[in-house]
Amino acid sequence: MPLSSSVRENGAIIITSGARLTIENAAEFSRIAREALEASDNVAIEFDPEVEIDITGVQILCSACRSAAASGAIFTYHGAQPQALADIITSSGAGRYSVCKHNNDSTCIWFGGAN
Can you give the pLDDT at residue 114? 43
What are the Cα distances from residue 42, in Å, to 9, 11, 45?
A: 12, 8, 10
Can you give the pLDDT at residue 91? 87
| Predicted confidence band of residue 113 (pLDDT cuts 50, 70, 90) | low
Q: Over the chain, what is the mean pLDDT?
A: 88
Can you give the pLDDT at residue 39? 96
Residues forming beta bridges with residue 4, ordered by sequence position? 16
Is the per-residue pLDDT at 111 higher than 90?
Answer: no
Domain ranges of the chain: 4-107
99 or 16, greater pLDDT: 16
| pTM of the model as a whole | 0.86
Count of beta carbons in the 10 Å neighbourhood of residue 11: 10
Is the per-residue pLDDT at 4 higher than 60?
Answer: yes
Tell me which residue of 16, 82, 70, 60 sits closest to 38, measured CA to CA: 70
CATH, domain range 4-107: 3.30.750.24
pLDDT digits (tens, 9 = 90+) for 51-94: 999 999 999 999 999 899 889 999 999 898 899 998 988 888 77
